[in-house]
């Protein structure tokens, strides 16, 4: 049997075409490996080779998903590959969403294996882990050397039709699929053995890991709203016209802080939404639907609240990783506390 033919999907950054300023690059393709494709070819150890590389800017893909996906699939098809690898995307949210979407489309439309790699908190994991094999990677490209061999090994196994082991054995993120297996010892004994190891402080592996939820204790209720400074914060992407901070439509890497001094009502001439993933028509017609400055000013005039904080904060929740959202919240909270704000209304979409 000859070498497996592989197509590699990467973004504009890993193709060496530029950073954020080139994120709106439409799909293109090149013969042979590009960028990290060289490392994949080495990891395939003669069993497979990259015959073509498909490249697309992260912003372009996320803002033209159906059109970009169709274009990318056509480019992949012309190389007639045996399997596809995408990324790895590490913790880059938009890149992860694109890699997951491309791999899912390849599997469903071309009926060939596809493998990608992401950091556990990449939003692409939550969206695509049930449909796609995603190898767990480090949070940044510093983990490339570890990620590539794991992705290559898994992709070759899938291409050969070999049986896969458990996620922990193969290095991919659990897909939520459970299979019955027969083992030597019955459940009660295994459970007691685990309990004994836990009591002794010895290492053990659970057979059914429980989800880890981030529990945040609620703050005490506000005692007197009429003496309280209230701030508005939104993940609905309401920004001044033109989006001066260039907050991304998906997988936001930043938030903005904007002045409401003298603003009683958000007009469509001065404000808009930067958010992708929902129809922006109604938010752009009346931005107060997402960021209720008009109602807050009424409550301020009526004395229901002490005052509306001079600044509001905005980001985009669409595809934004939990790690990024937590970081934004910590930075915003620090500023609000320093400014004497006692309550926050957080609006989404």
3-state SS record for 165-190: CCHHHHCECCCCCCCCCCCCCCHHHH
Say yes or no to pLDDT of 176 above 80. Answer: no
Domain that includes residue 265, residue range = 225-347
Give the span between the Cα atoms of 88 and 198, in whole angstroms: 36
Whether the CB-CB separation of 7 and 81 falls below 8 Å is answered with: yes
Give the residue from 126, 160, 194 where a domain finishes. 160
**Domain at 28, CATH number:** 3.40.50.2300
247 & 337 share domain: yes
Write the burial class of residue 1 (CB in 10 Å: 0-12 exposed, 13-18 middle, 19+ buried): exposed
Strand 256-259 to 311-314 pairing: antiparallel
Are 152 and 232 members of one domain? no
Does residue 200 belong to any structural domain of this protein? no
In a domain, 178, yes or no: no
Position 69 in a domain: yes
Identify which of 34, 11, 214 has the alpha carbon closest to the alpha carbon of residue 124. 11
Domain count, the chain: 2
pLDDT at residue 181, as a whole number: 77
**pLDDT tens sequence across 201-212:** 999 888 777 767
The Cα 11–Cα 20 span in angstroms is 11
Instruction: Copy the structure tokens of residue 239.
Output: 């920004």
Residue 38's pLDDT is 96
Residues with Cβ within 8 Å of residue 195, at least 6 apart in sequence:
none
User: Given this model, what pLDDT does residue 1 score?
Assistant: 52
The answer to whether residue 207 is domain-embedded is: no
Which pLDDT does position 253 carry in this prediction? 87
Q: Give the least confident one: 156-170, 207-221, 251-265.
A: 207-221
* pLDDT of amino acid 178: 74
> Mean of the per-residue pLDDT values for the chain?
92
Q: Give the global pTM.
A: 0.67
Percentage of the chain exceeding pLDDT 90: 73
Is the sign of the CA dihedral 190, 193, 199, 205 positive or negative? negative
Q: Mark which of 121, 136, 160 sits at the end of a domain.
A: 160
- Domain assignment present for 211: no
Directed axis angle between helix 93-105 and helix 65-77, to 10°?
60
**pLDDT tens across 107-151, in order?**
999 999 999 999 998 989 988 999 999 999 998 899 999 999 999
């Amino acid at each position: 049997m000859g070498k497996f033919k592989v197509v590699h999907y990467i973004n504009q950054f890993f193709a060496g075409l530029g950073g954020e300023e080139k994120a709106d690059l439409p799909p293109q393709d090149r013969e042979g490996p590009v960028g990290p494709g060289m490392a994949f070819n080495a990891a395939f150890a003669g069993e497979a080779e990259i015959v073509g590389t498909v490249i697309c800017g992260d912003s372009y893909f996320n803002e033209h998903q159906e059109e970009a996906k169709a274009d990318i699939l056509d480019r992949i098809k012309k190389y007639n590959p045996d399997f596809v690898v995408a990324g790895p995307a590490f913790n880059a949210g938009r890149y992860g969403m694109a890699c997951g979407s491309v791999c899912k489309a390849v599997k469903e439309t071309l009926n060939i294996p596809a493998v990608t790699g992401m950091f556990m908190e990449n939003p692409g994991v939550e969206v695509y882990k049930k449909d796609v094999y995603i190898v767990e990677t480090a949070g940044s490209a510093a983990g490339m050397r570890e990620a590539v061999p794991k992705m290559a090994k898994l992709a070759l196994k899938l291409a050969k039709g070999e049986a896969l082991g458990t996620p922990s054995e193969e290095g991919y993120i659990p897909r939520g699929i459970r299979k019955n297996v027969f083992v030597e010892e019955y459940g009660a004994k295994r459970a007691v053995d685990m309990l004994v190891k836990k009591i002794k402080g010895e290492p053990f592996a659970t057979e059914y890991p429980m989800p880890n939820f981030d529990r945040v204790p609620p703050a005490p209720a506000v005692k007197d709203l009429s003496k309280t400074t209230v701030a508005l914060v939104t993940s609905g992407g309401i920004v001044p016209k033109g989006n001066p901070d260039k907050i991304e439509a998906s997988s936001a890497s930043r938030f903005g802080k904007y002045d409401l001094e003298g603003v009683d009502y958000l007009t469509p001439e001065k404000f808009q939404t930067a958010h992708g993933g929902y129809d922006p028509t109604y938010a752009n017609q009346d931005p107060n639907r997402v960021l209720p400055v008009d109602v807050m000013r009424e409550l301020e005039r009526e004395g229901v609240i002490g005052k509306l904080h001079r600044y509001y904060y905005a980001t985009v929740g669409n595809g934004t990783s939990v790690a990024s959202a937590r970081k934004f919240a910590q930075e915003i909270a620090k500023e609000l506390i320093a400014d004497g704000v006692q309550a926050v209304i957080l609006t989404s979409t």
